[in-house]
Structure formats: structure tokens, C-alpha cells
Amino acid sequence: MSYFSSNFKLGILGGGQLGKMLLNETRKFDIYTCVLDASDEAPCKIACNEFYKGDLLDYKTVYEFGKKVDVLTFEIENVNVDALETLEKEGIKVYPSSKTLRTIQNKATQKLFYLDHNIPTAAFSRFAYTSEIEDAISNGGLQFPFVWKSAQFGYDGNGVKVVRTIDDLKDLPNTECIAEAMIPFKNELAVIVSRNVKGDIKTYPVVEMEFHPEANQVEYVICPARIDKEVAKKAQDIALKVSNAFNHVGLLAVEMFQTKDDEILVNEVAPRPHNSGHQTIEASYTSQFEQHLRAILNLPLGNTDSKVAGIMVNLVGAEGYNGNVLYKNIETIMDMNGVTPHIYGKKQTRPFRKMGHVTIVNENLNEARKVAETVKNTIKVISE
């Protein structure tokens, strides 16, 4: 089948920044795209061939959109899986599959999947409702501190809370959830695995994530991770094991903890391009977005090596600012060597909202990290 300058249609569920960056690649290859998103202001709107406004969790909306395309993919997990399942039965190719997505969508199901496949992960308890946790604490079945995670619809630090006392449970939604053991870890790592339809598989180098202490959002993604070769090898092997267990097509971002004893535990996965792979646009031979396309269209996978060291800084809305966005000092950072800002196209800023990212590339990782710090302290996402 010809995908290039042809009648082929690729459908993308979700019109956010990941979709927008994916569309850079479809435009490079002249692949015709249709996008569905709930917002008229979606970043993807300007870059796709056909844009549809609709609810991603509505069965009929997703089903009818899927019938218009030849291959369907998604840039966000919160979509109607039943519709995807029906579309697959009717011959529409959906990558990653509805089966993969169904398992990943629910954090409790995802954790049980790791247990079933002997994939190392933090110990956890599953609860139908948050209100059941107090009983578990009072009868000794659960000890502080632990991490509360909503089973569904969490993202970017939403739906996750460290619980140290009973009071910390007070404002949490009474929903299906897991309570996970707190892991004393040295590093948070991630590996992106790509797999095409015929089963070819490649991994990107291990990246390390530095987190913002309060917002629970990644501040820096550092590639390559500053870890021993043996630890990196272990992380890649475990990521491949997870990928094989899911038998997914497309990208799978595997987030992991490196414990004090250098064990690797899987935290969670995302079946799509991911925040931990943004530096690949400038730093790698093949960006994660191009690789996702190659994988879901069963094309040869690209070279995943890095050309240079890369660091990614998230651009999030500054505290105390709401309204029309203004990128303060953007010219200053653009005057620095190896610095590339990516602006997602969201017109309204609010505190901690992801508005863009900046990539810093350099032959020398330590140098790149210094520049990244300067970039972070210089550019501010404020409002007019």
C-alpha cells in the first residue's frame, strides 16, 4: 500500500501537542491526516488535512471518525476503547491495538499485567474506592507512606498523590485506585521501544528524568541517562520484556525506577509518543514521532542512536498567571547555541499547564545540562 501522496488516510485521536508534532512528520512524508479532538482550539487543527470536533470518550463519535480512515492511532489514552474494538473487527487497523490500550488505560489492570508477566514493579494494593483505604490502614494491611493513584484518567501528576497521613486522603476523589509502596529510588528512567507491524523492534537510549519537587512534573529529560552501562542495559532489557508482553505496535514509553540497590522497577507505560522522547527531534537520527509513523505503517524502523547529547526542558505556565500567553525572554534563549524552543500552540496559559518545551543539544552532556538550567531560569511562560 502506498501511504505517500496517495488516497491513504491516517486518523489520529487527540489533537494536542503530541499530535501536532506527529503531523510535522506526516507533512514531511505527505501522508493525508484526519484528527478528532474535543476542542476547537486544538494545536493539531492547523496542521492536519481534516479536523473533526468531538468527544474522544463517546462511542459513536470515535466509531464514526474511525470509519473515515485506513489506519487509526492516538496521542492520548483517554479514548473510547469499545469503539476501537468494533473498528478492528470491521477491518480498520488500530495501532496500538484496543487490547493494549484497554490494559494500559486502567492503572490497576496495568499493574496486574506486570505481575502476570513477571515484570518487576512496586508492591501495590487495589481498591474499588478510595474510602476503603482507611480500613486497610486501621487493620494494618497498609502502612504510611504510600502513593495513591487513581486507576483511570490520571495524567501529568494529576491523579497521583503521596499519602503520609490520614489527612492526605481527605480531598482525594472516591474512585477506583491503587496504593503503591513508596520506592526509595536513585533515579527515574525511561526507555522508548518501537515495534512495527511485522515485529521489528528497536529501543532508544535510556533517559533520566529530573522532577519538579512540587508539581510532580518532569523538569528535565536527560539523554543519555547519567547511569552505569550495566544499569542502562538492565533498563533496556526490561523495557523490551514489557514490549514483548504487550506485543504492541507503535511506540511504548516505559517509565522506571532505579532503586538504591540498582534494581529496575517498572512504574508505568504509555502507548504513544511521550514527554521522555521530545529531545529525539533534535538529538536523534530518527525522532520518536517519525518512528511512531514508521511503526504503525509497517515501514522499516529508523536509527534510534543519538547524534549528540540532548536535554529537554518543559515549558509550563508560571504560577500566578492566567490568560493570553506570553513567552518572556524567548529571544534570549534562542541566542544560545543548540537551543530550540517548541511552542505547542495553546493560546491560554495557567499555572503548570504544559505550553511547550525547549531542546538543548551539545556534544558534551554536562555542558548541555548547564545550558538547560540557564534556559529554565530565563524563559517564563506568563500572560499578557
Q: What's the mean per-residue pLDDT of the chain?
A: 95
pTM score, whole prediction? 0.95
Quote the pLDDT of residue 241: 98
**Which of the four pLDDT bands, split at 50, 70 and 90, describes residue 214?**
confident
Instruction: Please state the rounded mean pLDDT for residues 150-167.
Output: 85
CA distance 301 to 290: 9
Instruction: Please state the rounded mean pLDDT for residues 248-257.
Output: 98
Q: Please check if 336 is assigned to a binding site.
A: no
Q: Please check if 267 is assigned to a binding site.
A: yes
Q: Please check if 309 is assigned to a binding site.
A: no
Q: Please check if 367 is assigned to a binding site.
A: no
Instruction: Please state the rounded mean pLDDT for residues 374-382.
Output: 97
Q: Which residues of 345-365 are buried (b: 16+ CB within 10 A; e: fewer)?
A: bbeebbebbbbbbbbbbbeeb
Q: Please check if 183 is assigned to a binding site.
A: yes
Q: Please check if 182 is assigned to a binding site.
A: yes
* Most confident range, picked from 11-20, 133-142, 154-163: 11-20
Looking at residue 78, what DSSP letter applies?
Answer: -
CA distance 40 to 38: 7
**Which of the four pLDDT bands, split at 50, 70 and 90, describes residue 215?**
low
DSSP secondary structure of 256-273: EEEETTS-EEEEEEESS-
Quote the pLDDT of residue 155: 66
Tens digit of pLDDT for each residue in 162-192? 999 999 998 899 999 999 999 989 999 999 9
Q: Please check if 234 is assigned to a binding site.
A: no
Q: Please check if 174 is assigned to a binding site.
A: no
Tens digit of pLDDT for each residue in 61-113? 999 999 999 999 999 999 999 999 999 999 999 999 999 999 999 999 999 99
Please list the alpha-helical segments (H only) found in 190-311: 229-246, 280-283, 288-296
Q: Which domains does the chain have, with CATH numbers?
A: 9-94 (3.40.50.20), 123-181 (3.30.1490.20), 308-384 (3.30.470.20)
Instruction: Please state the rounded mean pLDDT for residues 232-245.
Output: 98
Q: Please check if 256 is assigned to a binding site.
A: no
